Amino acid sequence: MKITIIYDNETSRSDLVPDWGFACLVEAHGITILFDTGAKGNILLRNMEKLNIDPKSIEIIVISHGHWDHTGGLEDFLEKNRNIKLYIPSFYGIPSCAVDEAIEVKGPMQICEGVFSTGELQGETEDGIETEQSLVVHNDKGPVVIVGCSHPGVREILESASTHGKVHALIGGLHGFSEFDILKEIDIVCATHCTQYIAAIKSMYPDKYTEGGAGRIIEL
């Protein structure tokens, strides 16, 4: 299983562009999935080109939630490849740009062999009720959870994912998450994008913390 961070606030390579937003490529179980599309299509596509990722190689797109910094690159990407399945939370609605197949996600569901959505989870934030889906990918060492911003709460997301087994890795934006004790049982943590307390997580769990940033490749 291989995860490549394409879009993030920071970059691990000087030839890539950092920007507020998130997108990553998930290669697992013989399927290639783009999880979120960042804020700007030109940055998404430029970073993909530098990372030697061909848009036409992607079979599935999963959108975590409807915020601009996770959906902004979608239409530009679809200009390069419309031959995909798009899994998108039902509240967001199907975009006007045509795709091969668009699936509205409500409850937990299987996306393909070994890959699942938590379904729409809700959490109360300073901006009101936020709804978001996360990705759960089966791995020999336990499920890998990939999140956009964790608006419903990291605890709630991990509890949902734990129906697939003991969570092995957590990757993505953790927003204002501060219940650091619940990371004790997770083997790998890669906090990206909107995570407010990256330094604290890294300090508490140096052995399990993995740096994020556009260009980072995590092999599990």
Please write the tens of the pLDDT for every residue from 54-107. Answer: 999 999 999 999 899 999 999 999 999 999 999 998 866 666 667 888 899 999
* pLDDT at position 187 over 90: yes
| pTM for the structure as a whole | 0.96
pLDDT of residue 98: 74
48 vs 44: CA distance, rounded Å: 6
pLDDT of residue 143: 98
Is domain 2-219 given the CATH code 3.40.50.300 in the classification?
no
β-strand pairing of 144-147 with 169-173: parallel
**pLDDT category of residue 175 using cuts at 50, 70 and 90:** very high
Tokens 């091969």, residue? 100
Separate counts of helices (H) and strands (E) for the chain:
5, 15
Mean pLDDT of 147-153: 95
Domain boundaries, the chain: 2-219
Q: Does 102 or 130 have the greater pLDDT score?
A: 102
Mean pLDDT of 161-169: 97
**pLDDT category of residue 139 using cuts at 50, 70 and 90:** very high
**pLDDT category of residue 122 using cuts at 50, 70 and 90:** confident
CB 52 within 8 A of CB 161: no
pLDDT of residue 95: 66
pLDDT of residue 97: 67
Please state the three-class secondary structure of 173-203 as a single string.
Answer: ECCCCCCHHHHCCCCEEEEECCCCCHHHHHH
Mean pLDDT, the chain, integer: 94
Q: Does 134 or 89 have the greater pLDDT score?
A: 134
> What percentage of residues in the chain have a pLDDT greater than 70?
95
Strand, coil or helix: 88: strand
